[in-house]
Amino acid sequence: MHPCVRLPLVASPVAFATGIALGSFVTLLLTHKRLRRPPYPASLLRLRKAELTGSARGAYFNAEDAPEWLRGLFFDPALQRVLLREWEDAAWRRRAGWLGTDLIHNPEGNGVQVVAYFWDAAALTLTGVVKFGPAAESHRGLCHGGAMTSLMDDLCGHICFFSSGTPWCGATVQVNCKLMKPVRVGDVHKLVGRIDRQETKEKGGKPLTKVFISAELVGERGEVFASLEGLSIVPVVMSTIDDAVSKRSWISSDGVLRDSGWLL
Ligand SMILES: CCCCCCCCCCCCCC(=O)SCCNC(=O)CCNC(=O)[C@H](O)C(C)(C)COP(=O)(O)OP(=O)(O)OC[C@H]1O[C@@H](n2cnc3c(N)ncnc32)[C@H](O)[C@@H]1OP(=O)(O)O
């Protein structure tokens, strides 16, 4: 056979191997690039609180989305804006092992929503902007009492975590909620909670702290719609998964309290 005729037979395994090598190289490059890509949305890792004013800036709820009477929270220097990655970044939330959407912090939700939390570390006070959507309805045009109770449970858990250096350090064990006025679908109210006192004692050779929490859901004219007397206990290990997400810590800078999940 003429050597020219045999050439493709010899060349094809070489071309095949070269293709494989090239393909692997490109895949490696892409993977490497993906691993090195800054966390999404990258801007949320860098922005100072004062810059979180408009939706173009990244967070799903900002000063310009808030009613006038609550806008000051976004600019109060005593308050840190809380940005947890699992609330803001749905793709990361799925990748990191969450199974669904947060009952209270779902950007796409239309039930009861805390759309922004602000932490005052000196006063141990947590303030939230709360929206009540149509999925929270029970009586015609009015919200379900469970919407207010879920809200209070969320505050109780978070106030305990924000006041501590590590996440998932405790558990809410009591949410005693007083429902005082009907909340209308479409209302936007302010939630204010605080740590009233803490009692530490020894249990099984280890310290156990009871954190007593109170809170109110208030309207624009100061009317109280619901109140809370809550109790959390610390430490309690709630997560059964031992990974980097479970070991997150707080990053406090430029008026923002972020979880270290933004770095994962
Ligand atoms: C940096 C990144 C951060 C990310 C943060 C994400 C945040 C997400 C936040 C999400 C937040 C969302 C919302 C959420 O939070 S979601 C979590 C909702 N909470 C739960 O699911 C808790 C369920 N309960 C339990 O699992 C157990 O009860 C635990 C494990 C907590 C305690 O069982 P354990 O067997 O270990 O303890 P113990 O029974 O010896 O009790 C110890 C002490 O406590 C007292 N006690 C107990 N229960 C009650 C009670 N009901 N009322 C009054 N007191 C109570 C008890 O009398 C005793 O005191 P004393 O009698 O010795 O004086």
Question: For ligand 1, atom 5, which residue shows the shortest CA distance?
Answer: 167
Q: How confident is the model at residue 38 (pLDDT cuts 50, 70, 90)?
A: very low
**Dist. CA 231–CA 212, nearest whole Å:** 5
Q: Where is pLDDT greater, at 153 or 47?
A: 153
Question: For ligand 1, atom 62, which residue shows the shortest CA distance?
Answer: 203
d(CA 194, ligand 1 centre) in Å: 18
Locus of tokens 């156990």: 208
Q: Where is pLDDT greater, at 140 or 4?
A: 140
d(CA 210, ligand 1 centre) in Å: 9
pLDDT in tens, 166-215: 666 788 999 999 999 999 999 999 999 999 999 999 999 999 999 999 99
**Dist. CA 40–CA 261, nearest whole Å:** 11
d(CA 200, ligand 1 centre) in Å: 14
How does the average pLDDT of the chain come out, rounded?
85
What is the arithmetic mean of pLDDT over 147-161?
Answer: 95
Question: How would you write 87-153 as a 3-class SS string?
Answer: HHCHHHHHHCCCCCCCCCCCCCCCCEEEEEEEEECCCCEEEEEEEECHHHECCCCEECHHHHHHHHH
pLDDT in tens, 51-69: 665 555 568 888 889 999 9
**Dist. CA 14–CA 253, nearest whole Å:** 56
Pocket test residue of 202, 233, 234, 263 for ligand 1, highest count of atoms within 8 A of CB = 233
pLDDT at res. 195: 96
Omega cis (within 30) before 207: no
Q: How confident is the model at residue 50 (pLDDT cuts 50, 70, 90)?
A: low
Q: What ipTM was estimated for this complex?
A: 0.93
Omega cis (within 30) before 235: yes
- The binding-site residues of ligand 1, defined as CB within 6 angstroms of any ligand atom, are 84, 153-154, 157-158, 161, 167, 171-174, 203, 208, 231, 233, 236, 248-250, 259
Share of residues in the chain with pLDDT > 70 (%): 77
Q: Is 194 exposed, middle or buried (0-12, 13-18, 19+ CB in 10 A)?
A: middle
**Dist. CA 154–CA 111, nearest whole Å:** 14
pTM (two decimals) = 0.83
What is the arithmetic mean of pLDDT over 231-256?
Answer: 89
pLDDT at res. 79: 96
pLDDT at res. 53: 56
Q: Is 257 exposed, middle or buried (0-12, 13-18, 19+ CB in 10 A)?
A: buried
**pLDDT(154) > 90:** yes
pLDDT at res. 41: 54
Q: How confident is the model at residue 77 (pLDDT cuts 50, 70, 90)?
A: very high
pLDDT in tens, 94-147: 999 999 999 999 999 999 999 999 999 999 999 999 999 999 999 999 999 999
Q: Which two tokens stand for residue 156?
A: 């109780």
Ligand 1 nearest atom to the CA of residue 174, by list position: 51
